[in-house]
Amino acid sequence: MKLLRYGKVGAEKPAILDAQGRIRDLSGIVADFAGPALGRESLSRIKALDFGSLPLVEGNPRIGAPVGIVPKFFGIGLNYRDHAAETGQPIPEVPIVFAKASSCVSGPYDPILQPKGFDRMDFEVELAVVIGERAKNVSEAEALNHVAGYSICDDVSERSLQKGGPGEWIKAKSYDSFGPLGPWLVTTDEIPDPQSLDLALDLNGVRMQTGNTSTMIFTVAQLVSYISKYMTLVPGDVITTGTPPGVGMARNPRVFLKAGDELRLAISGLGEQRLKVVAEA
């Protein structure tokens, strides 16, 4: 299933794409895609519905992030071998886990804001994992049973705060709009193997990043299991799993985002994001 949320910021409603790619309203079934609504029981009930009988959403509404409440938002650093190589960093022996503030979550077509003084903003196309069932000390073998589905994330980063400055990743990656998610939350039944997905990112029509999740150092199952040993994962938690090579910081010359830039991010089976950088007044 491809689940989504539509409507104005702060007033989004849950919905699903039908077989023809039309948006069908689910607000009469679930209040939002948050908490228990992301669990196995809830998703099974939704899957059993006759989608054609659900209210059709007319027009072209704004699409929001597919998860209504994100209790915890984690990122994984240097999780692709070729990305670690391009940055000159050694291959991590264990996952590098950092936090993004959940207030940075935005929709897949919303603008990326560029505040004054952020002159080294970078792009990172990533596979995002959404937790559906509480996970504490889960094994790798059981880890994927705790996943509701997958989405696209752009892990936007202000490199001056991450590199060569105070080095606090959470500040570099948490400004409003620095965590676009969507367009859909694609449930695990449609993505049986999260380690075989193609990723791509274009900047102003030029391909910058190309990769495949098969080259991740730590798999989705390993990441969920690893993090669950240090804290309990709950429904709605998001883990964005690292980026393939081609980021602006690693290029020669370097390429950083500026107002007016347009990004297209795509992952096989998960749709695409289209984002524009806008200078914040």
Name the percent of the chain lying above pLDDT 90.
92
pLDDT digits (tens, 9 = 90+) for 151-163: 999 999 999 998 7
Q: What is the mean pLDDT of the chain?
A: 96
User: Given a cut of 90, is residue 167 above it in pLDDT?
Assistant: no
pLDDT digits (tens, 9 = 90+) for 11-35: 999 999 999 999 999 999 999 999 9
- pLDDT confidence tier of residue 81, bands split at 50, 70 and 90: confident
Q: Looking at the domain assignment, is residue 22 inside a domain?
A: no
User: Given a cut of 80, is residue 6 above it in pLDDT?
Assistant: yes
Q: Looking at the domain assignment, is residue 244 inside a domain?
A: yes
Identify each DSSP E strand in the chain by its residue range. 2-6, 13-17, 23-25, 63-64, 73-77, 96-99, 105-106, 112-114, 121-122, 125-131, 147-154, 157-158, 179-180, 185-187, 198-203, 206-212, 238-240, 262-267, 271-279
pLDDT at 134: 98
For residue 192, cis peptide bond before it (omega within 30 degrees of 0): no
Q: Looking at the domain assignment, is residue 11 inside a domain?
A: no
Residue 38: Cβ within 10 Å count: 29
Residue 186: domain span: 68-279
Q: Looking at the domain assignment, is residue 160 inside a domain?
A: yes
- pLDDT confidence tier of residue 165, bands split at 50, 70 and 90: low
Residue given tokens 């994992």 in the structure block = 129
User: Given a cut of 90, is residue 228 above it in pLDDT?
Assistant: yes
3-state secondary structure of 162: helix
What token pair was written down for 219? 């798999």
- pLDDT confidence tier of residue 85, bands split at 50, 70 and 90: confident
Cα torsion angle, 247, 250, 255, 256, sign: positive
Q: Looking at the domain assignment, is residue 32 inside a domain?
A: no
Q: Looking at the domain assignment, is residue 104 inside a domain?
A: yes
Q: How far apart are the first and last CA of the chain?
A: 39
pLDDT at 163: 75
pLDDT at 226: 98
Give how far Cα 211 sits from Cα of 159, 243, 267, Å.
22, 8, 9
What token pair was written down for 258? 């500026």
pLDDT at 166: 61
User: Given a cut of 80, is residue 147 above it in pLDDT?
Assistant: yes
Which of 25-39, 83-97, 262-276 is predicted least confidently? 83-97
pLDDT at 1: 98
Q: Looking at the domain assignment, is residue 205 inside a domain?
A: yes
Q: Looking at the domain assignment, is residue 53 inside a domain?
A: no
Report the pLDDT averaged over residues 98-119. 97
CATH assignment of the domain containing 245: 3.90.850.10
How many domains in the chain?
A: 1
